[in-house]
Structure 1
Amino acid sequence: MASTPLTDIDLLNCAQANAKEGLESAAQHCGYGEDSSRFMAALQEAAQNKGITLKNFSDLLNFDDLQPSSGEAIAPESPGNL
């Protein structure tokens, strides 16, 4: 159990690892204690920062199926144009 609330990828990994135990248990393991609403807000922000839309906590059960939101890819036409 984390002593301080996890953030970013650490939070996503912790939440995914504890998703089967439920929202309240995952919140505790990730350092949010009994504040599941703050946990869920931080989790959605962390997912959004990675380009993933996380609508519900149960989406974590199929986390491998989640895809980053679509966006425009910007890249040079060839490696020589870097």
Structure 2
Amino acid sequence: MASTTPLQGTELVDCARANAKQGIETAAYQCGYGNDLNKFASELRQACEEMNLQVKELNELITDQDLLLEIGTGEVIAPTTASEL
């Protein structure tokens, strides 16, 4: 569900990260910025700087963990007992 007011700070970064795979238009809309992509990008850049995140593009917010979660139900390979580690 899209935010009714523009998000700021960590909430903005979290929302942008969650929607980064869908593109900047979707992320801006979901974060409460509608079609104002410039304002969204500016506020996101500022929020990232405040969090000491070095992000130049929206897709840089997608982490390896996000990619692993997307893969989903792959086969788990693990020892059957602790002694087989």
The answer to whether 1:58 aligns with 2:48 is: no
Report sequence identity in percent. 38
Partner of 2:79: none
Aligned-residue Cα RMSD (Å) equals 1.4
Within 2, Cα distance between the matches of 1:36 and 1:63?
26
The offset of 1:51, in angstroms, is 0.8
Hey, what's the Cα distance between the residues in 2 that align with 1:51 and 1:59?
14
Residue equivalent to 2:44? 43
1:62 Cα deviation after fit: 3.0
Q: What is aligned with 1:25?
A: 26
Q: TM-score of the superposition, structure 1-length normalised?
A: 0.73
Give unmatched runs, 5+ long, in structure 1.
Answer: 65-82
Following superposition, which runs of at least 4 residues in structure 1 exceed 4 angstroms of deviation? none
- CA gap of 1:58–1:35, structure 2 versus 1, over 3 A, is same
